[in-house]
């Protein structure tokens, strides 16, 4: 469809989205009233479930009653009910007017996948949040209205439970439910999510997108995903250019015959002109980067908070100096924030979707912590989030640490810092993942290094200390690892006074490098995904692992190492 015709045809869609954005801003203006309404609706929605009856939903009249009737809980508290739902007993956790659509999988930090129910109301809230995000982003960047989208998502129907319910990724379900007009904006069709091999899926997605010069936005949750996509395009540039020229999809790519057949119309036949454009880019620059082959690119949509902030430099290298709008703090369990501005890691709490409670960071894990509602937060303070959602989770401790960065209309702006489990302390230093990311970001900028992945982890000794695991291919020379660790160590001492004190007194050794062969992190990520479930696009690389055995085990399992110290 011609871009102008598509723009005219989408007028009604944009009108509805702007009305939803206006309602969101109305909710934001009075978060206390909005949250009270949402809590009433969610309790009523699942009131006839076994879980609700057991926990006395009928007696709840206020937020205070809610806290009295239900304890703060983790996944284990809901596991028995979810297992029954998986077998077809929806009434175990969900109300009769709250139909189950699918289960989304999350790897979390446990030894097995978590199955999170996705109900109709949950999906409606999820889609509404994305529409608010989308129309605000598009209206802030009007050129996007006539440009195309590169989005990577995973299959929502990877397998079925005993009760016959699909299990996969919610983004795949949302993609499959989009209107025909909206689908014409996407360069990557739904069927690509069915490709099993992540490398084959990325190759196919980029092959389809490379043929299109009118890409305006690239979006997926994890910034490392789009960086890897860009690296793949450059590493296999001759193959991509040949495929574009011939109108083919390389036989070297592991794609099932039925998917290849479904993609034939999308390949659009030989495109010699576009192939010559791509070849000219390589001849002129020596590489094939998105900043060159997508000249209309106007926005990147990826996570930027927490450890994801470590990838900003890599994004700039491959995509150029374009605006980045955070995806928003979201997980399989729920969507928490909607960012409305570029180049910021914070977003407005989505007060109209779930009911939120907050525990001050220092009180988390205590027997009687202070519990606050959204309007009671303090700017500059850190909190753990509790979620109550339409999918049956109540007072669910997702173990995300966020910082309140301000308010808009009474509703807090929140920035993700790290998972609560990502704290390392072998001598009382209590290093957080967010501090590691900040220290490495500053050190990398000083040394002009572009790190793809890294992990800091403690090692025992006399005295103990920390190692920085990084691939050799990320460093220009062997001594760069020493300089990187020295700089990061100095920054970390300033960010964490306890770490600084332990280093000054010799109770911790200086941060030291452990070099890894190229591809180590890719093998590690694939193994984690195969064991824990979830989607590749939502894989969160750990920048801090507080396990004294991690470094030794990683080197043993994923390749030899060359220790520089």
- Residues 375-395 pLDDT 10s: 999 999 999 999 999 999 999
Q: Is 533 left (phi over 0), alpha (psi -120 to 50) or beta?
A: left
What are the tokens at 519?
């591809």
pLDDT in tens, 46-86: 999 999 999 999 999 999 999 999 999 999 999 999 999 99
CA-based end-to-end distance of the chain: 60
- Checking if the pLDDT of 560 tops 60, the result is no
Spatial contact of 246 and 268, defined as CB atoms under 8 Å apart: no
Instruction: pLDDT band for 247, please (50, 70, 90 cuts).
Output: very high
* Cα atoms found within 13 Å of the Cα of residue 215, Cβ hemisphere only: 26
State the pLDDT at residue 498. 84
pLDDT for residue 8: 67
Burial class (CB in 10 A: 0-12, 13-18, 19+), 261: exposed
pLDDT tens, 148-170?
999 988 889 989 999 999 998 89
d(CA 80, CA 61): 27
What is the domain partition of the chain in residue ranges? 3-121+328-419, 142-322, 423-563
Alpha carbon distance 259, 236 (integer Å): 22
Mean pLDDT over residues 546-561, rounded?
Answer: 83
- Model confidence at 331, in pLDDT bands (50, 70, 90)? confident
pLDDT confidence tier of residue 108, bands split at 50, 70 and 90: very low
Q: Are 565 and 512 in contact (CB under 8 A)?
A: yes
Q: DSSP assignment of 160-192, as one string?
A: E-TT--EEE-HHHHHHHTS-HHHHTTBSS-GGG
pLDDT of residue 106: 77
- Whether residue 308 is predicted with pLDDT greater than 90 in this model: the reply is no
**Sorting pLDDT into bands at 50, 70 and 90, what band is 497?**
confident
Residue linked to tokens 């030291």:
512
Q: Taking the alpha carbons of 369, 374, 377, 382 in that order, is the dihedral positive or negative?
A: positive
> Using CA atoms, how far apart are residues 561 and 330, in angstroms rounded to an integer?
35
CA angle 522, 257, 184 (to 5 degrees): 80
Q: What percent of the chain has pLDDT over 70?
A: 94
CA distance 456 to 440: 10
**pLDDT digits over 88-103, tens only?**
999 999 999 999 999 9
Provide the pLDDT confidence category of residue 4 given band limits of 50, 70 and 90: low
CB 403 within 8 A of CB 375: no
Q: How far apart are CA 344 and CA 324, in angstroms?
A: 8
> Helix 520-532 and helix 550-558: axis angle, to 10°?
100
Chain centroid to Cα 472, Å, comes to 26
Q: How confident is the model at residue 111 (pLDDT cuts 50, 70, 90)?
A: very low
pLDDT winner (highest mean) among 152-161, 355-364, 553-562: 355-364
User: Residue 509 gets which letter from DSSP?
Assistant: P
423-563 to CATH, choices 3.30.1370, 1.10.1760, 3.30.300, 3.30.160: 3.30.300
User: Using one digit for the tens of pLDDT, what is the confidence trace for 402-417?
Assistant: 999 999 999 999 999 8
Question: What pLDDT, on a 0 to 100 scale, did the predictor assign at position 564?
Answer: 39
Q: Do 14 and 179 contact (CB within 8 A), yes or no? A: no
| pLDDT surpassing 70 at residue 483 | yes
Determine the 3-state secondary structure of 533 from DSSP: coil
What confidence tier does 466 reach under pLDDT thresholds 50, 70, 90? very high
Average pLDDT, whole number, for the chain?
91
Plot region of 543 (φ>0 → left; ψ -120 to 50 → alpha; else → beta): alpha
Place of tokens 């900003």: 312
pLDDT at 559 over 70: no
Nearest-5° angle of CA 103, CA 107, CA 111? 115
Eight-state DSSP code of residue 81 = H
Q: Is the pLDDT of residue 110 over 50?
A: no
Mean pLDDT of 317-323: 95
423: confidence class by pLDDT, cuts 50, 70, 90:
confident
């Amino acid at each position: 469809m011609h871009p102008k015709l598509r723009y005219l045809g989408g007028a009604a869609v944009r009108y509805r989205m702007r009305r939803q954005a206006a309602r969101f801003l109305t909710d934001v203006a009075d978060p206390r009233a909005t949250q009270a309404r949402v809590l009433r609706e969610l309790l009523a929605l699942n009131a006839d479930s076994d879980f609700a009856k057991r926990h006395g939903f009928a007696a709840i009249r206020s937020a205070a009653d809610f806290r009295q009737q239900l304890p703060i809980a983790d996944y284990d508290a809901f596991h028995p009910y979810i297992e029954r739902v998986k077998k077809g007993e929806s009434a175990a956790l969900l109300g009769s007017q709250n139909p189950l659509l699918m289960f989304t999988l999350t790897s979390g930090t446990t030894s097995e996948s978590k199955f999170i129910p996705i109900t109709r109301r949950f999906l409606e809230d999820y889609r509404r949040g994305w529409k608010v995000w989308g129309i605000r982003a598009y209206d802030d960047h009007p050129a996007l209205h006539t440009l195309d989208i590169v989005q990577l998502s995973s299959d929502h129907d990877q397998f079925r439970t005993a009760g016959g319910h699909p299990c996969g990724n919610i983004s795949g379900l949302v993609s499959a439910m989009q209107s025909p007009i909206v689908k014409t904006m996407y360069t990557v069709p739904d069927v690509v999510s069915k490709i099993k091999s992540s490398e084959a899926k990325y190759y196919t997605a980029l092959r389809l997108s490379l043929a299109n010069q009118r890409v305006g936005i690239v979006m997926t949750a994890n910034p490392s995903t789009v960086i890897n996509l860009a690296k793949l395009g450059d590493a296999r540039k001759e193959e991509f250019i040949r495929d574009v020229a011939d109108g083919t999809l390389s036989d070297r790519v592991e794609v099932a015959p039925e998917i290849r057949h479904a993609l034939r119309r999308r390949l659009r036949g030989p495109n010699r002109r576009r192939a010559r454009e791509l070849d000219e880019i390589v001849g002129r620059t020596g590489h094939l980067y998105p900043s060159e082959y997508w000249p209309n690119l106007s926005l990147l949509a990826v996570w930027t908070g927490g450890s994801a902030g470590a990838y900003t430099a890599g994004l700039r290298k491959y995509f150029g100096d374009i605006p980045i709008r955070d995806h928003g703090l979201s997980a399989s369990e729920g969507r928490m924030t909607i960012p409305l501005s570029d180049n910021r890691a914070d977003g407005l709490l989505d007060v109209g979707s779930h009911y939120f409670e907050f525990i001050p960071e220092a009180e988390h894990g205590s027997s009687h912590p202070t519990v606050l509602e959204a309007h009671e937060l303090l700017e500059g303070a850190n909190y753990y989030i509790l979620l109550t959602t339409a999918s049956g989770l109540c007072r669910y401790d997702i173990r995300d640490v966020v910082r309140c960065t301000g308010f808009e209309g009474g509703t807090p702006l929140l920035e993700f810092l790290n998972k609560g489990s990502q704290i390392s302390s072998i001598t009382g230093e209590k290093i957080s993942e967010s501090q590691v990311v900040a220290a490495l970001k500053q050190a990398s900028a000083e040394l002009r290094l572009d790190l793809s992945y890294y992990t800091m982890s403690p090692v025992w000794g006399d005295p103990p200390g920390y190692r920085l695991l990084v691939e050799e291919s990320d460093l220009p020379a062997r001594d760069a690892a020493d300089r990187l660790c020295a700089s990061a160590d100095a920054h970390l001492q300033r960010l964490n006074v306890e770490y600084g004190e332990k280093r000054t007194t010799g109770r911790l050794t200086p941060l030291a490098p452990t070099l890894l062969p190229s591809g180590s992190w890719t093998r590690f990520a694939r193994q984690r995904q195969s064991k824990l479930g979830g989607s590749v696009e939502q894989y969160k690389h750990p920048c801090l692992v507080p396990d004294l055995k991690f470094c030794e085990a990683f080197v043993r399992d994923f390749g030899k190492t060359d220790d520089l110290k």
